Amino acid sequence: MKLDIQGFKELLTHKMESTFESTGEVGPIVFFLRRDENVMIGKIPPGAMSSIEGKNHLADNIREICRDPITMATALMAEVNIRDNEGNKTADGIMLVVSTLEGDDITLYEVDCDKNKMLGIHCEKEGTDLRGRFTGFFQWDKN
């Protein structure tokens, strides 16, 4: 099976849905799609996402791997809290960020943790102008 970037996204979405519906958990996990079509998978240590320093260190490590010309895409999958504009939690969610040379795709899925059920897409954003700690991994060459 030839795994292009679109196939990579579809594979991750399917894996995320099936894992969550069978276990009630997802990640945090990081994935790298290589030009030889191999996918590297790394489980992110629990503490890495619990502090700003840990998140910055993780983002720096991902960015460094993306500097390798054999890396075509990276993806980060993690459970998140969906919040309203005032910062109040409104739902549980799973975030999938896929970063490529062409830009980033961020999809936030709403989930029901009590029933291990995916409820659907809460929001989607894509492009090269997205800003955040876990976006722009391939933009290092554009500075």
- Taking 90 as the threshold, does the pLDDT of residue 1 lie above it? no
| pLDDT tier, 111 (very low <50, low <70, confident <90, very high otherwise) | very high
Is residue 108 a contact partner of residue 123, using CB atoms and an 8 Å limit? yes
Mean pLDDT of the chain: 85
- Provide, rounded to the nearest whole percent, the portion of the chain with pLDDT above 90: 36
**Token pair listed for 39:** 């996918």
Phi (first) and psi of residue 9, to 5 degrees: -60, -45
In angstroms, the CA 59 to CA 62 distance is 5
Both tokens assigned to 57: 């260190």
Alpha helices in the chain (DSSP H): 5-23, 52-66
Confirm if 35 and 100 have CB atoms less than 8 A apart.
Answer: no
pLDDT in tens, 58-86: 889 999 999 999 999 999 998 889 988 89
Q: What is the pLDDT of residue 73?
A: 92
Task: Please identify which residue in the block is written with the tokens 């030839």.
Answer: 2
Q: Domain boundaries in the chain?
A: 5-138
**Global confidence as pTM:** 0.84
Residue 113 three-state SS: coil
More confident residue, 123 or 98: 98
Q: Which residues contact 87 (CB under 8 A, 6 or more apart)?
A: none
Phi/psi region, residue 127 (left: phi>0; alpha: psi -120 to 50; beta: rest), is: left
